[in-house]
Amino acid sequence: MTVAELIPLAAKVSIVILVFALGLKTDASDLASLLRGPSLLVRSLLSINLVMPIVAAVIVMLFSLHPPVGVMIFALALSPLPPLLPNKEGKAGGTAAYAISLMVAAALFAIISIPLTVAVAARVFGGSFYVGPADIAKLLIFTLFVPLAAGVAARRFAAGLAERISSPLSRIAGLILLAVGLAILVGAWKGMVAQIGDGTLVALAVFVVMGLLVGHLLGGPDPNDRTVLAISTASRHPAIALALVQMSHPEAKAVLPVLLLYLISNAILGAPYIAWRRKIGVGLPSV
């Protein structure tokens, strides 16, 4: 097996471990917490699955971007939430149950919304885009639903063991992801630098900032919900975004540098928002 084949395999394995570890910390009741608030569920899906694809389409039209860059931004807007989000949102003061149930709800909705949005985009903007529901379902079943369900089941029947191994597994997965990220960064560094001066970095920054703004506004009156939805709307699953590009545009090249620039932009621009939410004590216990 070559290094080029090993890197995506390691990324998938680390994501599966990470989701399983997240399941070990999750009660089954958390997965359906959004069903108890249908208004918040609708606003959440509207923010993540409808508004952000529109934002991405506007960004692509307004900026003079290379075609692969536009494809990747649109793919990011279609992708559901990454499994790292519940931990990130918890640090910002968001509620864990909402974060986890939102990740599951957005992924389920993505099975329908992604193919539908791709079909609409093909008619509006032209092109031979196609992503089927079965393609998305298969991707999410093996990277999200199965490992999460396995973790939740393990917690149900062996709570003590689940509590002991969840954090070590998360750290292992994080180290693997870090190694994968560094390997990709080394290989894509020149491509990233080349993208900085052509409007790509500004377009990605606008995408992230708009995600934070849209999610914050649609989060409703509860400040905890606003925090979770803002971070969720701005953050997308990089592996699924890359898979979407490969499924709909297998000829697209040089998308990895764009993906890395997005991840860096999201981390840098999201940090002040998280710091602000922590500073005002959203969701944090009083002392």
Residue 59 is assigned to a structural domain of this protein: yes
pLDDT at 85: 59
Residue 171 is assigned to a structural domain of this protein: yes
Residue 287 is assigned to a structural domain of this protein: no
Residue 281 is assigned to a structural domain of this protein: no
Average pLDDT over residues 247-272: 80
Residue 183 is assigned to a structural domain of this protein: yes
User: What predicted TM-score, i.e. pTM, was given to this entire model?
Assistant: 0.82
Q: Of all residues in the chain, what percent carry a pLDDT higher than 70?
A: 82
Average pLDDT over residues 247-253: 65
pLDDT tens-digit map of 130-177: 677 888 888 888 888 999 999 999 999 998 999 899 989 988 988 888
Residue 282 is assigned to a structural domain of this protein: no
Mean pLDDT for the chain?
81
Q: What is the CATH number of the domain that holds 257?
A: 1.20.1530.20
Decide which of 178 and 4 is more confident: 178
Residue 101 is assigned to a structural domain of this protein: yes
Question: Is the pLDDT reported for residue 243 higher than 50?
Answer: yes
Question: Is the pLDDT reported for residue 272 higher than 90?
Answer: yes
Which residue segment(s) compose the domain that 82 sits in? 3-276
pLDDT at 255: 77
Residue 46 is assigned to a structural domain of this protein: yes
**Per-residue confidence band for 86, with pLDDT thresholds at 50, 70 and 90:** low
SS (H, E, C) the chain: CCHHHHHHHHHHHHHHHHHHHHHHCCCHHHHCHHHHCHHHHHHHHHHHHHHHHHHHHHHHHHCCCCHHHHHHHHHHHHCCCCCCHHHHHHHCCCCHHHHHHHHHHHHHHHHHHHHHHHHHHHHHHCCCCCCCHHHHHHHHHHHHHHHHHHHHHHHHHCHHHHHHHHHHHHHHHHHHHHHHHHHHHHHHHHHHHHHHCCCHHHHHHHHHHHHHHHHHHHCCCCHHHHHHHHHHHHCCCHHHHHHHHHHHCCCCCCCHHHHHHHHHHHHHHHHHHHHHHHHCCCCCCCC
Question: Is the pLDDT reported for residue 92 higher than 50?
Answer: no
The domain tally of the chain equals 1
Average pLDDT over residues 71-88: 77
